[in-house]
């Protein structure tokens, strides 16, 4: 949500008025006309997640202008992010849910999740899943996962802001929850609007249970880079649902080996 600065009573400059209630204006006693919101006000995402950490953090996003990149401001450093303001090369803001998106910087990223060697030539890397204060992590992830599976719910993944070498941004994968608690997450190597190869991934119900747990699932599919993967379910006041998947290298995320973070929105 965007926050516009507002003058405190009695603290606004300007002439006229002079009434005993401390308001100022153009001769109208007791009324204050708030200043217009800044044209490029920052939007606060209070329950976000960054690369390499499972702790929620409040981030703010200032949109790009015709002369400057978007800026992501963080109170703490993370892999590929410095404390303070960071220039972004791409952002994704979901259109079918409110208050959720992705922030991406310029960095090598020929991986999607645990699949390597995809989207070669795309140097855009997800650094944060943006979630505003309306989103909260599920307190009953197993029950919620079962409910999603009963409906065969599908989500579109937007890792790396959906950047593609072959064309405009598009989803990076499609995740489908199975009735038995298993799921598939089929990765798009390329752009479905031009040329694409689909890399099919399957996860058992037991693996999904581990992914949804606080401990996560230790994935050894890449022998040289084992990662602990976690999948979190978030709901908002409008009863909408998104997923966030994080992969954190077993030895700890670094700028050279940051792991991954991806947002999944309803398909």
Query: Tens digit of pLDDT for each residue in 56-76?
Result: 999 999 999 989 999 999 999
Task: Mark whether 20 and 77 lie in a shared domain.
Answer: no
Task: Mark whether 63 and 161 lie in a shared domain.
Answer: yes
Average pLDDT value for the chain: 87
35 — pLDDT class (breaks 50, 70, 90): low
22 — pLDDT class (breaks 50, 70, 90): very low
Say if CB 137 and CB 161 are below 8 A apart: no
Q: What angle do CA 206, 212, 217 make, to 5 degrees?
A: 65
Task: Mark whether 149 and 194 lie in a shared domain.
Answer: yes
Indicate the number of domains in the chain. 2
Say if CB 98 and CB 236 are below 8 A apart: yes
Residues near 158 by beta carbon (within 8 Å), at least 6 away in sequence:
92, 94, 102, 171, 172, 262, 263, 264, 265
Query: Which residue range(s) make up the domain with 13?
Result: 1-38
The string of pLDDT tens digits covering residues 175-207 is: 999 999 999 999 999 998 888 999 999 999 999
Task: Mark whether 116 and 91 lie in a shared domain.
Answer: yes
Share of the chain residues as helix, strand and coil, in percent rounded to the nearest 5: 10, 40, 55
Say if CB 264 and CB 155 are below 8 A apart: yes
* pTM greater than 0.75: yes
Torsion of CA 220, 225, 226, 231, to 10 degrees: -100
Task: Mark whether 28 and 139 lie in a shared domain.
Answer: no
Mean pLDDT across the stretch 247-255?
94
36 — pLDDT class (breaks 50, 70, 90): low
3-state SS, residue 88: coil
Among all chains, which residue has been given the structure tokens 């910087």? Answer: 105
Give the pLDDT of residue 38.
56
Q: Which one of 23-37, 74-88, 212-226 scores highest in mean pLDDT?
A: 74-88
Residues near 133 by beta carbon (within 8 Å), at least 6 away in sequence:
1, 44, 46, 47, 99
The string of pLDDT tens digits covering residues 7-20 is: 333 333 333 333 33
Say if CB 99 and CB 131 are below 8 A apart: yes
């Amino acid at each position: 949500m965007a926050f516009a600065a507002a003058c405190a009573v009695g603290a606004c400059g300007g002439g006229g008025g002079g009434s005993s209630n401390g308001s100022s204006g153009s001769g109208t006693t007791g009324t204050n006309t708030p200043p217009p919101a800044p044209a490029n006000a920052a939007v606060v995402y209070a329950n976000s997640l960054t690369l390499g950490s499972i702790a929620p953090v409040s981030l703010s996003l200032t949109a790009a202008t015709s002369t400057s990149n978007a800026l992501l401001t963080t109170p703490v450093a993370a892999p590929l992010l410095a404390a303070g303001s960071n220039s972004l090369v791409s952002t994704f803001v979901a259109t079918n849910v409110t208050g959720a998106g992705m922030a991406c910087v310029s960095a090598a990223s020929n991986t999607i999740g645990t699949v390597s060697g995809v989207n070669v030539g795309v140097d855009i890397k997800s650094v944060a899943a943006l979630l505003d204060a309306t989103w909260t992590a599920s307190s009953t992830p197993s029950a919620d996962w079962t409910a999603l599976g009963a409906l065969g719910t599908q989500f579109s993944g937007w890792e790396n802001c959906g950047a593609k070498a072959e064309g405009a941004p598009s989803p990076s994968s499609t995740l489908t929850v199975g009735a038995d608690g298993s799921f598939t997450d089929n990765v798009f190597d390329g752009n479905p609007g031009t040329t694409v190869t689909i890399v099919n991934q399957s996860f058992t119900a037991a693996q999904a249970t581990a992914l949804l747990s606080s401990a996560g699932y230790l994935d050894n599919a890449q022998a040289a880079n084992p990662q602990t993967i976690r999948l979190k379910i978030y709901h908002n006041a409008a009863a909408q649902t998104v997923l966030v998947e994080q992969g954190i290298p077993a030895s700890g995320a670094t700028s050279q080996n940051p792991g991954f973070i991806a947002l999944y929105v309803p398909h």
